[in-house]
């Protein structure tokens, strides 16, 4: 599957700034979409592609920080580059705590913005890859039968086939068959690979 072209969303209530940022980003070959308000952005149909958000903190209606919280609430993961005036330190702290990718002060130097955007998109690309990998793993693991899952848990816990058979009150041969199915269904190359995949899944569940 070929990765779709990355995109930068610019949200600023000030048209001149919006146009300037769009022009700047386009000049280095980035695809840009602009919005005059956070509401417009939420209402728009967004293409599924590696992206980042260039967001003015201070806007009438829904502010940049409000939008950040709303996106977290809706489980929309997209790196945010905040742009703020001087002296909004408490705001910056709040935004960073909520996981803002970058914080730039107005007026933003062009190169700083381009660097931040490139970094954010690269980061998003990585995250998206990881997310799709995880989704694949989860799908494969979800295809296991309850019995196979029990076997998987015990395998990952480091038990030998014999010990597993004792634990489940079944024969070693049966365990071996289940284990082969697990390896096949999860597309694990080795025991180590299977353990790594199981750990990654657990880690996301803990989150």
Partner 1 sequence: MQAAHTAPSKLRAVSLYVFAVVLVLTATYLSLVFQVKLGNPFWLLFPVAVITSTWYCGKGPGWVAVGLSTLSVLYFFIPPDRSLAIKPEDIPFFLVFVACALISNWLIGWRKSTEDSLKRARDELELRVEERTAELKTSNEALVAQIEEQRRTEAALQVTRTELARVVRITTIGGLTSSIAHEVNQPLAAVVANADACVAWLSREKPDLAEARAAAERTIQGATRASEVIVRIRSLISKATPERAQVAINDTITQAVALADGQAFRNNVSVISELGPNLPAVMGDGIQLQQVTLNLLMNGIDAMSNTNNHPRELVVRSELQDSGQIHVSVRDSGVGLSAEVLARLFEPFFTTRSKGIGMGLPTSRSIIEAHGGKLWAEPNQPHGAVFQFTLPSVEGPSR
Residues that bind partner 1 (CB under 8 A): 14, 16-17, 19-21, 23-24, 26-28, 58, 60-61, 63, 83, 85-87, 106-111
The answer to whether the beta carbons of residues 154 and 166 sit under 8 Å apart is: no
Closest approach, Cβ 10 to partner 1, in A, equals 10
Cβ distance to partner 1 smaller for residue 17 or 122: 17
Torsion from C-alpha of 93, 98, 101, 102, nearest 10 degrees: -20
Nearer to partner 1, 95 or 175 (CB): 95
What is the C-alpha to C-alpha distance for residues 124 and 135, in angstroms, rounded to an integer?
Answer: 16
**Complex with partner 1: residue 61 or 136, whichever CB lies closer:** 61
What are the start-end ranges of the E strands in 22-161?
Answer: 31-35, 51-56, 80-84, 102-105
Contact 155, 109 (CB under 8 A): no
Write down the least CB distance from residue 111 to partner 1, Å: 8
Q: Dihedral sign, CA of 93, 94, 95, 97?
A: positive
Q: State in angstroms the smallest separation of the CB of 40 from partner 1.
A: 17
From the CB of 17, what's the least distance to partner 1, in Å? 5
Question: Of 66 and 199, which CB lies nearer to partner 1 in the complex structure?
Answer: 66
């Amino acid at each position: 599957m070929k990765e779709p072209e990355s995109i930068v969303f610019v949200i600023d209530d000030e048209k001149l700034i919006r146009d300037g940022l769009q022009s700047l980003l386009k000049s280095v070959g980035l695809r840009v979409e602009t919005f005059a308000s956070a509401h417009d952005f939420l209402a728009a149909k967004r293409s599924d592609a590696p992206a980042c958000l260039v967001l003015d903190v201070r806007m009438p209606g829904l502010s940049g920080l409000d939008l950040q919280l709303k996106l977290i609430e809706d489980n929309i993961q997209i790196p945010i580059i905040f742009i703020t005036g001087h002296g909004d330190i408490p705001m910056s702290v709040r935004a960073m705590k909520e996981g803002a990718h970058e914080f730039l002060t107005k007026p933003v130097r062009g190169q700083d913005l381009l660097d931040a955007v490139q970094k954010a998109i690269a980061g998003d690309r990585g995250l998206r890859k990881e997310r799709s990998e995880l989704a694949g793993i989860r799908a494969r693991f979800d295809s296991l039968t309850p019995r196979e899952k029990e076997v998987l848990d015990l395998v990952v816990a480091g038990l030998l086939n014999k010990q597993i058979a004792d634990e489940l009150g079944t024969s070693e041969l049966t365990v071996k068959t289940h284990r082969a199915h697990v390896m096949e269904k999860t597309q694990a190359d080795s025991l180590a690979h299977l353990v790594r995949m199981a750990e990654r899944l657990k880690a996301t569940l803990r989150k």
